[in-house]
Structure formats: structure tokens, C-alpha cells
Amino acid sequence: MSDKYIYIASPLGFSEAGRHFMYNELIPAIQQLGYGINDPWKLTDEQQIQQVMDMPYGEEKKQAWQQLNRVIGANNKMGIEKSDGVLAILDGVDVDSGTASEIGYAAAHSKPILGYRGDFRLSADNEGSIVNLQVEFFIRNSGGTIVHTLSDVLKTLPRIV
């Protein structure tokens, strides 16, 4: 059992390529450092999610999603609270809105945050930032920083968390 846990805030679970990177590269590398993982993509029973996804389109499915969304959100909230720090994946044209919310929640709970932006596209508000200035503020204010390679994640994470 690990002494320290990292919550991975990211949109990686939405795509096959993202899941491949997360489960075959990112998470195993972090676990090799001795950290446990609180993975929001695994905090809610996959069968519950699949049952709702398999429902026919309509009001019943909409209501089922509304109920399940509250469960997913509460599970992720608890995952952040139980973690010692957050690794936030910042890739994309703009930081994923769920990831940005998790960064804000983690910052409000004094969790150190490491941002990882392996995406070379510009995504900042101005020349003085890497991503959205408020997202970057919360990361840096938490004692964290933003890195651009997986090897830098592995070097920096132990210094922050």
C-alpha cells in the first residue's frame, strides 16, 4: 500500500489514444515512483456507467445520467480529498473544463498540483502564461509547476508531493 496518493485530473479517459497513454505509460510510471493512484475514470463502477450508456435515448436515460452524474462528481470530489496531490493533464486547445474544476477544488483544499502539458500548441491568454492564466495561477500558487514531458513529471512530482 502506498503512503501517498495522486489524483489524476484529465480528459484522457474520453479517447482510445488518451486511455492508452494513461494506462500504459503515465500511471505505471507514477506507480513506479511509489505513489498510489486515485483515477477518476475508475472511481465509479464501470457497470453503472455502461448501464446508463446502453439505455435508449429519452427522458429515462436523461434522468439516469442526472443521478449518475451526481455520483461521479461526488466520487471524484472524494478522490481529490483523499489524495496528497494532483497531476493535471493540460493538453488540448484549452484546458478541459472538468480538469480546470478539479484544479480549482484541489487548490482550495491546499493540495499541491503538478500540471503536465505535452501539447505544443499555444493555449495561453497572453505571452506570459502557458495555459489559461487562472488555471496556471492555481497550479503555481499550490506550490506546483507546469512541465512538458513525462520524464519531467517523474522528476518533479516527488519534489512537489
**83 close to 35: Cβ distance less than 8 angstroms:** no
Question: For residue 79, what pLDDT band results from cuts at 50, 70 and 90?
Answer: very high
Question: What single DSSP character describes residue 37?
Answer: E
Looking at residues 131-137, what average pLDDT do you find? 96
DSSP reduced 3-state for 109: coil
CATH of the domain at 57: 3.40.50.450
Task: Please report the pLDDT score of residue 2 as a whole number.
Answer: 78
**155 close to 80: Cβ distance less than 8 angstroms:** no
The residue among 122 and 97 whose pLDDT is bigger is 97
Looking at residues 49-78, what average pLDDT do you find? 96
Cross-strand partners of 5: 36
**26 close to 150: Cβ distance less than 8 angstroms:** yes
H or E element, residue 160? helix 150-160
Q: How many separate domains does the chain show?
A: 1
Domain extent, residue 14, equals: 5-160
